Chains A and B, each alone.
Chain A
Amino acid sequence: MGYIKWVFWITFWVLVASFFHYTLPQHDVARVSDTYEKRIDFGANSIFWAAADVGNAATTANHDVFFIQTRLTNDQVMVYRNEDTGWGWPPYFKFDTSNLQAEASDLKSGADAPQWVVIKHYGWRNEFMSIFPNAVSVRAVDDPNVRIIPWLNIGILIFFFAFVWAVWVRWRRFREARIDPVLEDAGDSIANTSDGVKKWFGSWRK
């Protein structure tokens, strides 16, 4: 029983962590080398792409997507998509995709005279699934070593863990008051017939 419980909870928390890692905003310092657009025919990766821009037809099978090519401060390249999230998930309520593309194009620079920008984005880059993080905003910075404190993420995570803790404490109190006594009774009455069954009940109590 112990193994199943561990596998369940590890899977659960890995899923929760990846959900937050995908959804919460992150900041990259980068140099925009180029911007482009290209038509995307969505396949198995369609869940990692947004719908068409707000107001456009939503039923088309494909659409053109803006991209922002960058080189990060650690010399790696990173490509961002630039899509409306609109009224859907994740709740960034981003409608200004075309404006953002104009800003990013305006900040283009070469390696010899770099113009550093902070790119706020969410999502993952995965080459094997052809998915890209979605850029939310760009702003120019002078210093590539600019320090960015993610106050929003700190706040959201504190709030989330406070909520989880509140639920957990209440559930534990409820179990001690209502469920454990019943299981103990049941365990006592069958203790004579089987030690194993009692142990099994005991494994649920920990």
Chain B
Amino acid sequence: MIALVRLLVFGFLALSVVYVCLSLYSRSVRRGKLEAEWDEEIKDGDRDAFVKEGMLEYDGSLRRKLILGVYVIPISIISFIIYATNFM
């Protein structure tokens, strides 16, 4: 049982580090794209408001929720290995 707890705790911590890094990176990429879009195409009105609106849209987007795959994929792989090793 100790081994399972250890796997869960350290796995969760490691994946959380990946999750936080990945979501910060994804946010910065989206922000950069919005800023580039304003600089090259719009060039009119409030730049900060445009970027802020775009980021609010990003917060509700599917792309952001896909980052949760960081947790889902390893759990699915482990479940499959358990099934393949013991029951297949």
Q: Which secondary structure characterizes the binding site on chain A? A: loop
Interface residues on A, range: 10 to 19
Q: Which secondary structure characterizes the binding site on chain B? A: helix
Taking a contact as CB atoms under 8 Å apart, the answer to whether A95 and B3 are in contact is no
Taking a contact as CB atoms under 8 Å apart, the answer to whether A95 and B6 are in contact is no
Nearest B-chain residue to A136, judged by Cβ? B85
Report which of B1, B7, B81 forms a contact with A92, defined as CB distance below 8 A: B81
- The distance from the CB of A167 to the nearest CB of chain B, in whole angstroms, is 15
Contacts of B3 in A (CB 8 A): 51, 54, 58, 86-88
Contacts of A55 in B (CB 8 A): 1
Please provide the chain B residues from 1 to 56 with a CB less than 8 Å away from any CB of chain A in the complex.
1-4, 6-7
Taking a contact as CB atoms under 8 Å apart, the answer to whether A93 and B2 are in contact is no
- The distance from the CB of B76 to the nearest CB of chain A, in whole angstroms, is 13
- The distance from the CB of A26 to the nearest CB of chain B, in whole angstroms, is 15
Distance of A91 Cα from B77 Cα, bound (Å): 11
Mask, A77-94, CB within 8 Å of B = 1, is 000000000111001111
Taking a contact as CB atoms under 8 Å apart, the answer to whether A93 and B85 are in contact is yes
Q: Is B61 an interface residue (CB 8 A)?
A: no
Taking a contact as CB atoms under 8 Å apart, the answer to whether B85 and A92 are in contact is yes
Contacts of B82 in A (CB 8 A): 93, 95
Distance of A91 Cα from B87 Cα, bound (Å): 16
Q: Is B66 an interface residue (CB 8 A)?
A: no
Q: Is A28 an interface residue (CB 8 A)?
A: no
Nearest B-chain residue to A55, judged by Cβ? B1
Q: Is B78 an interface residue (CB 8 A)?
A: yes
Nearest B-chain residue to A96, judged by Cβ? B86
What is A's interface to B at a CB cutoff of 8 Å? 51, 54-55, 58, 86-88, 91-96, 99, 136-137
What is B's interface to A at a CB cutoff of 8 Å? 1-4, 6-7, 78, 81-82, 85-87
Q: Can you list 23 A-B pairs, Cβ within 8 angstroms, ordered by A?
A: A54-B3, A58-B2, A86-B3, A86-B4, A87-B3, A87-B4, A87-B7, A88-B3, A88-B6, A91-B78, A91-B81, A92-B85, A93-B78, A93-B81, A93-B82, A94-B85, A94-B86, A95-B82, A95-B85, A95-B86, A96-B86, A99-B86, A137-B85
